């Protein structure tokens, strides 16, 4: 029925009904519509007033700020997996299977009931919905009670029996793609910089190419890198030292895990319930590295081999997710592959249940990609609570109620199906005892046999006689080149050709083809002598092919401008200066601000790549920088000498700069990033 404009004499009554949430009750809503059509019908007005009075009486007896926004239709909040009940009306509250494919985030202080809530969900899944397979990554050994509940096989592995060949891609996944993700994991969680990960990727490919069809282990790669000879103190020697330190840590602290040439088959993991007991890994960074490898293998196999899935097939469970999805990682030079995975996983039948103690420490990507968020047992800090409460419109009374009730087993849910915050009493899971050590050991041994886990390297298989088609060789070359450029965008053509074992002419032709296909762009970088060198930028289309997220560089402007900011920052850091990219000079940012560590002298550096198109902007930047109290001098850089001469003349002819020229230095960009 079409609603007419509100009648003035009904406004006050209607406002009170809406404030009490009564307009969302179907019967009351219909009465309100009839009252608008016939405002003189006193019987309808009386019924509405009685409903309001009755609600007021209830609130007087039991002042509950969540009563006005409680659901009036049980179907809005029921689900396949029962969690508890709504205290306002006793409706059962549950999570639907469809919600889990959009991910579930459970937040709360230690001991507040996060694990209890997750166990309650998993008990029901294991017993009632066997088609959805669990992949549980454990830090505390709190889910072993599930092993006795499942009518389906339930694999369980601990660190002592875990075998993982990180150099062997999941079945059906191209080698170059997998190795690029593996090196990215090292960058994300083992503190290897991008340049060193590119060095590692190159030597891994070389070793595998020489292994005649078998896959060497991580220890083999460590030994291969150790044999390489480089000039002391050279860039390559520094990369070698960094990589060897990180690989040695993995091999020594996790003996046996990475010594296998075989390792897990991710198809076995995805086809069954699997529990990984990783609490014995001594270092948090290594726990995160293992978690990321397992999750990435599952996601990569699903995307590359099985493709899009219409429904939930696998549910990953990750307690203490704050350590893996850290907000601080989002400002690092290399994006997290797991953040990319979380944003895409639902399209491939993979859901995630993640738990954490605080919301402000979690990555924005995880927060943005979890369809339902539940706080149970309260949050320790008010800023965490406020971040959660902003998920839904709430009143001050509701906020106070949430903050003052950090009770174990009491939950507040920002449910993806409902527009208001829900209060819920959580039912505990059935009391099912965890396995004792002997029973757990028996489960692990059975898994080792079932999964055929062996630590020894397989014998090398003969090289295949059949040669790949020319078309496939070309496609493989293009992908290999694109991956290499994504890791090392600035390198001499001959050096890249040697690394990729290609002729420079053939490599140049393939690069032109990638540019024509829109996979990447080239930018000229002027150097002291000779023709400009090419800086390559992989586009979103190219990154879609490699499946490696684009690395974001710090700074502003286009890709070339950010490249110069990065290179010049490295140049001055090596000289012992403190460097700020986009440093603040009072009312504006300079491209860089460098500060001498001994005397505090600050210098603003401006990189002007468009001087000829907009010379006035260059003068404006210099004047603004010189106005800053912290800046002693301004260095303005342009890409080549002919432009430098024009800039020198403009500076001399600019009246506002008279008397300030002594505080201005002009130079070419290459003088501040290339060794003289």
Confidence band of 76 (pLDDT split at 50, 70, 90): confident
Residue range 249-279, pLDDT digits in tens: 888 888 778 877 677 888 888 999 999 988 8
State the pLDDT at residue 142: 85
pLDDT of residue 397: 85
Q: Are residues 433 and 515 in the same domain?
A: no
State the CB neighbour count (10 A cutoff) for residue 659. 8
CB 83 within 8 A of CB 124: no
**Other residues' Cβ atoms within 10 Å of the Cβ of residue 583:** 21
Answer yes or no: is 552 within a domain.
no
Residues 418, 530 within the same domain: no
Tens-place pLDDT, residues 422-439: 989 888 777 777 778 888
CA distance 83 to 7: 43
Q: Tens digits of per-residue pLDDT, 167-218?
A: 888 888 888 888 888 888 887 777 777 667 788 888 888 888 877 667 888 8
| Whether residues 400 and 425 fall in one domain | yes
**Buried/exposed 369-391: b ≥16 CB within 10 Å, e otherwise:** bbbbbbbbbbbeeeebbebbbeb
pLDDT at 467 over 50: no
pLDDT band per the 50, 70, 90 thresholds, residue 61:
low
Query: 45: Cβ–Cβ under 8 A, 6 or more apart, which residues?
Result: 10, 13, 35, 39
pLDDT for residue 486 is more than 90:
no
Q: How confident is the model at residue 74 (pLDDT cuts 50, 70, 90)?
A: confident
Strand 602-607 relative to strand 592-596: parallel, antiparallel, unpaired?
A: antiparallel
- What phi, psi does 138 have (nearest 5°)? -100, 135
Q: Could you tell me if 98 and 136 lie in one domain?
A: yes
- Quick one: which of 435, 403, 376, 158 has its CA closest to 281? 158
**What is the bridge-based pairing of β-strands 520-525 and 533-538?**
antiparallel
The H-or-E segment that residue 374 falls in is strand 372-376
Instruction: Report the SS3 class of residue 343.
Output: helix
CA separation for the pair 454, 162 (Å, rounded): 10
Instruction: Quick: pLDDT tens for 662-672.
Output: 899 999 998 88
Instruction: Compute the distance between CA of residue 47 and CA of residue 54 in angstroms, rounded to an integer.
Output: 11
375-410, pLDDT tens digit by residue?
Answer: 988 877 778 888 888 888 888 888 888 888 778 878
Q: Give the total number of structural domains in the chain.
A: 5
Burial zone of 252 (CB within 10 Å; 0-12 exposed, 13-18 middle, 19+ buried): exposed
Q: What is the pLDDT of residues 304-355, one digit of tens each?
A: 888 898 899 999 999 888 878 877 766 665 567 788 888 899 999 999 999 9
Distance of alpha carbon 356 from alpha carbon 319, whole angstroms: 7
- Does 70 fall in a domain? no
In a domain, 551, yes or no: no
Output the pLDDT for position 604: 92
- Give per-residue pLDDT as tens, 353-362: 999 888 888 8
Find the length of the chain. Answer: 676
Q: Domain with 484 in it: what CATH number?
A: 1.10.10.10
Between 173 and 470, the higher pLDDT residue: 173
* Distance between CA atoms of residues 593 and 663, nearest Å: 15
CATH of the domain at 576: 3.40.1350
pLDDT band at 458 (very low <50, low <70, confident <90, very high): very low
In terms of DSSP bridges, do strands 133-138 and 273-277 run parallel, antiparallel, or are they unpaired? Answer: parallel
CA-based nearest residue to 560, from 515, 603, 608 = 608
Is 569 found in the same domain as 433?
no
Report yes or no: 315 and 279 within 8 Å, Cβ to Cβ: no
**CATH number of the domain that 129 lies in?**
3.40.50.300
| Residue 68: inside a domain | no
Residues 257 and 241 in one domain: yes
**72 within a domain of the structure (yes/no):** no
The radius of gyration of the chain from alpha carbons, rounded to an integer in Å, stands at 31
pLDDT at 325: 83
10 Å CB burial of residue 548 (0-12, 13-18, 19+) is: buried
Note whether 132 and 169 are same-domain residues.
Answer: no
Q: What is the pLDDT of residue 264?
A: 81
Q: Are 196 and 242 in contact (CB under 8 A)?
A: yes
Residues 258 and 272 both lie in one domain: no
Classify residue 54 by its DSSP letter: H
Q: Is 346 found in the same domain as 255?
A: no
pLDDT digits (tens, 9 = 90+) for 488-518: 888 888 888 887 778 888 889 899 999 999 9
Average pLDDT over residues 45-65: 72
- Provide mean pLDDT across the span 11-23: 74
Distance CA 304, CA 172 (A): 7
User: Cα 177–182–354 angle (5° rounding)?
Assistant: 110
Residues 612 and 628 in one domain: yes
Domain endpoint, select from 504, 524, 546: 546
Helix%, strand%, coil% for the chain, nearest 5: 45, 15, 40
Q: Cβ(635)–Cβ(583) under 8 Å?
A: no
At residue 471, does pLDDT exceed 70? no
Residues 512 and 578 both lie in one domain: no
- 155 with 255, same domain? no
Computed over every residue of the chain, the mean pLDDT equals 82
Out of 263, 282, 317, a domain closes at 263
> Which of 366, 114, 157, 383 is closest to 260 using CA atoms?
157
Angstrom distance (rounded) from CA 346 to CA 313: 10
Q: Is this model's pTM higher than 0.75 or not?
A: no
In a domain, 554, yes or no: no
What proportion of the chain, given as a percentage, has pLDDT over 70? 89
Among 86, 88, 31, 77, which Cα is nearest to 55's? 88
Which residue segment(s) compose the domain that 24 sits in?
8-61
Task: Judge whether residue 653 has pLDDT over 50.
Answer: yes
Residue 14 has a pLDDT of 79
């Amino acid at each position: 029925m079409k609603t007419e404009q509100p009648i003035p004499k009904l406004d006050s009554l209607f406002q009170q009904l809406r404030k009490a949430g009564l307009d969302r009750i179907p019967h009351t809503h219909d009465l309100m519509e009839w009252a608008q059509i016939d405002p003189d019908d006193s019987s309808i007005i009386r019924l509405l007033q009685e409903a309001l009075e009755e609600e007021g009486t209830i609130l007087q007896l039991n002042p509950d700020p969540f009563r006005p926004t409680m659901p009036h239709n049980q179907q809005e909040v029921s689900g396949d997996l029962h969690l508890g009940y709504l205290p306002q009306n006793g409706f059962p509250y549950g999570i639907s299977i469809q919600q889990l494919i959009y991910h579930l985030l459970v937040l709360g202080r230690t001991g507040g009931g996060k694990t209890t809530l997750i166990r309650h969900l998993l008990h029901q899944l294991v017993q009632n919905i066997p088609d959805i397979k669990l992949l549980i990554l454990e830090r505390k050994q709190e889910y072993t009670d599930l092993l006795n509940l499942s009518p389906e096989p339930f694999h369980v592995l601990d660190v002592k029996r875990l075998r993982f060949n990180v150099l062997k891609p999941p079945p059906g996944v191209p080698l170059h793609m997998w190795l690029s993700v593996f090196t990215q994991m090292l960058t994300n969680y083992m503190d290897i910089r991008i340049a060193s990960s590119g060095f590692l990727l190159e030597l891994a490919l070389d070793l595998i190419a020489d292994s005649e069809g078998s896959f060497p282990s991580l220890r083999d790669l460590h030994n291969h890198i150790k044999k390489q000879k480089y000039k002391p103190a050279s860039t390559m020697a520094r990369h070698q030292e960094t990589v060897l330190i990180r690989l040695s840590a993995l091999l020594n602290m996790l003996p046996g895990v990475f010594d296998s040439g075989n390792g897990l088959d991710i198809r076995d993991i995805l086809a069954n319930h699997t529990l990984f007991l990783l609490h014995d890994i001594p270092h948090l960074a290594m726990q995160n590295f293992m978690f990321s490898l397992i999750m990435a293998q599952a996601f990569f196999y699903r995307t590359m081999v099985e493709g899009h899935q219409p429904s939930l097939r696998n549910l990953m469970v990750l307690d203490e997710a704050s350590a893996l999805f850290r907000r601080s990682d989002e400002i690092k030079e290399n994006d997290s592959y797991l953040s990319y995975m979380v944003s895409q996983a639902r399209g491939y039948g993979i859901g995630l249940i993640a738990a954490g103690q605080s919301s402000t420490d979690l990555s924005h990507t995880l927060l943005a990609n979890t369809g339902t968020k539940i706080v149970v047992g309260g949050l320790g800090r008010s800023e965490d609570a406020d971040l959660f409460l902003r998920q839904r419109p709430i009143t001050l009374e509701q906020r106070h109620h949430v903050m003052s009730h950090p009770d174990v087993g009491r939950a507040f849910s920002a449910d993806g199906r409902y527009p208001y915050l829900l209060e819920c009493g959580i039912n505990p899971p059935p009391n099912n005892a965890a396995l004792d050590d002997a029973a757990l050991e028996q489960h692990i041994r059975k898994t080792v046999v079932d999964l055929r886990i062996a630590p020894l390297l397989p014998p090398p298989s003969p090289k295949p006689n059949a040669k790949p088609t020319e078309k496939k060789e070309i496609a493989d070359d293009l992908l290999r080149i694109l991956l290499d450029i994504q890791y090392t965008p600035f390198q001499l053509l001959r050096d890249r050709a040697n690394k990729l074992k290609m002729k420079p002419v053939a490599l140049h032709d393939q690069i032109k083809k990638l540019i024509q296909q829109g996979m990447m762009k080239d930018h000229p970088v002027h150097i002291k002598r000779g023709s400009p060198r090419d800086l390559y930028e992989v586009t979103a289309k190219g990154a879609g092919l490699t499946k490696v997220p684009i690395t974001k560089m710090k700074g502003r402007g286009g890709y070339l401008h950010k490249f110069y900011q990065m290179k010049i920052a490295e140049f001055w850091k090596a000289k012992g200066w403190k460097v700020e990219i986009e440093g603040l000079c009072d009312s504006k940012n300079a491209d860089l601000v460098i500060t001498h560590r001994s005397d505090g002298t600050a210098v603003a550096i401006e990189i002007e790549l468009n001087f000829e198109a907009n010379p006035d902007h260059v003068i404006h930047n210099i004047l603004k920088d010189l106005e800053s109290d912290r800046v002693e001098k301004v260095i303005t850089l342009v890409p080549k000498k002919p432009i430098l001469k024009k800039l020198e003349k403009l500076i001399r002819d600019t009246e506002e700069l008279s008397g300030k020229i002594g505080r201005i230095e002009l130079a070419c960009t290459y003088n501040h990033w290339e060794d003289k």
